[in-house]
Copies of this chain bind each other. A is one copy, B any other.
Amino acid sequence: MSPRFSVDRLEHPIVQAPMGGGPSTPALAAAVSAAGGLGFLAAGYRTPEAAREDIREVRMRTERPFGVNLFVPSPPSDVAERVERYAQGLRAEAERYGVALGDPRHDDDGWRDKLTLLAEERVAVVSFTFGCPEAALVEELHRAGSAVWVTVTTATEAAIAARAGADALIVQGVEAGGHRGSFDDRAPGDLGLLALLQLVADTVDLPLVAAGGLAHGRALAAVLAAGADAAAFGTAFMLTPEAGTSPAHRAALAGDAGTALTRAFTGRTARGLVNRFMREHGAHAPSAYPEVHHLTAPVRTAARSAGDPDGFHLWAGQAYGLAEELPAAELVERLAREAREAIRRMPSP
């Protein structure tokens, strides 16, 4: 059996962060992997069948390794009353977009079926967000030949993931767009990437993939200097033609709104461009994922279809203003080239 994938095998230490709900596509993952980085599929929100189709499509496009990201299930919400009150406050949104609110149900996003699928498909890397899989599950994936990466936002989470047998950690700073990977959404933390990298490197001895607010090759060079083995870029890939980013979202990323953390859209802390929905509902949103995700989904889908950037989540990291419309393979090459230039120009300490 071949050894598990290790990040130092990459031609370029560049990972395409999984971006659920549309932006991540098999075409994007394949383009990044083919260019010498590591592409990722986002299996969260997908049915197991759709996730399998995605994996197969990547494999038709490239023989290079790639990863699949899963959401670790959350326990059912214990704040049903707060969810109900939040739903009442969203009635005008449903009317505005001519839809009914969704059922704020709990589910585990097809957790077991997706794990079975991954054990069969034997992808190079399986990464986790929102928690740490148990050691037995990590072993199961190891037996299937997959490396296991866990997203962490604190040194404590890093230590937990190391004990569970993770092969590498995705170290996510507060700058990151989309959901915070925090194990506990009630304490989502606020550590900036560079502070977090130092704290995690001081705690565990595992390969680290730095994520959050990275857009330029200078930042790739920076996290490599800080001790990371690779950098993950999310928002930077959102304007590539291979990404499934919606037109309204693409247009918003070309603007200059600020970003903020909010639970308004999904009941879990995530960073996006500040818009009307976030301003009006953010303060009232409970920590209840995926209940709130399901509750707001019809509104968000309708707003996105209508091209209204004020009615759905516009995930974006803090450096989104530097994202460029550029084919994914060219972006990988550009980031690597900029990083090499940045290293050449460094003053001696």
Which residues of A are interface residues toward B (Cβ below 8 A)?
Answer: 8, 12-14, 155, 173-175, 189-199, 201-202, 212-227, 229, 258, 260, 317-319, 321-322, 335-336, 339-340, 342-343, 345-349
Chain B nearest Cβ from A151, distance in angstroms: 17
Given contacts A175-B191, A222-B223, A227-B218, contact A319 B349 (CB under 8 A): no
**Option from B220, B317, B342 in Cβ contact (under 8 Å) with A227:** B342
A199 to B214, CA, bound (A): 10
Chain B nearest Cβ from A318, distance in angstroms: 4
**Option from B13, B196, B349 in Cβ contact (under 8 Å) with A217:** B349
Minimum CB distance partner of A14 in chain B? B349
Chain B nearest Cβ from A223, distance in angstroms: 7
Chain B nearest Cβ from A347, distance in angstroms: 6
Q: Is B194's CB under 8 angstroms from A175's CB?
A: yes
A13 to B345, CA, bound (A): 14
Q: Is B225's CB under 8 angstroms from A224's CB?
A: yes
Chain B nearest Cβ from A14, distance in angstroms: 8
- Beyond A192-B318, A197-B219, 6 extra complex contacts between A and B, CB < 8 Å: A13-B347, A194-B213, A198-B216, A202-B322, A221-B346, A224-B347
Contact partners of A229 in chain B: CB under 8 A: 347
Chain B nearest Cβ from A42, distance in angstroms: 22
Q: Is A198's CB under 8 angstroms from B339's CB?
A: no
- Most chain B beta carbons < 10 A, residue from A191, A199, A216, A346: A346
Minimum CB distance partner of A7 in chain B? B347
Q: Is A198's CB under 8 angstroms from B215's CB?
A: yes
Minimum CB distance partner of A8 in chain B? B347
Q: Is B321's CB under 8 angstroms from A199's CB?
A: yes
Contact partners of A218 in chain B: CB under 8 A: 197-198, 201, 225-227
Minimum CB distance partner of A341 in chain B? B349
Q: Is B216's CB under 8 angstroms from A202's CB?
A: yes
Contact partners of A321 in chain B: CB under 8 A: 155, 199, 202
**Option from B213, B225, B335, B347 in Cβ contact (under 8 Å) with A192:** B213
- Most chain B beta carbons < 10 A, residue from A8, A212, A225, A319: A225
Contact partners of A336 in chain B: CB under 8 A: 349
Contact partners of A189 in chain B: CB under 8 A: 258
Chain B nearest Cβ from A170, distance in angstroms: 16
Contact partners of A318 in chain B: CB under 8 A: 190-192, 195-196
A329 to B14, CA, bound (A): 37
Minimum CB distance partner of A173 in chain B? B192
A227 to B347, CA, bound (A): 9
Contact partners of A201 in chain B: CB under 8 A: 216, 218
Given contacts A191-B318, A336-B349, A349-B217, contact A343 B198 (CB under 8 A): no
**Option from B155, B194, B224, B225 in Cβ contact (under 8 Å) with A214:** B194
**Option from B193, B215, B225, B258 in Cβ contact (under 8 Å) with A221:** B225
Q: Is A224's CB under 8 angstroms from B319's CB?
A: no
Contact partners of A219 in chain B: CB under 8 A: 194-195, 197-198, 226
Q: Is B174's CB under 8 angstroms from A192's CB?
A: yes
A-B contact pairs, 14 of them (CB 8 A): A174-B174, A174-B190, A175-B192, A175-B195, A191-B213, A191-B318, A194-B213, A196-B318, A199-B319, A201-B218, A202-B216, A218-B227, A219-B226, A343-B349
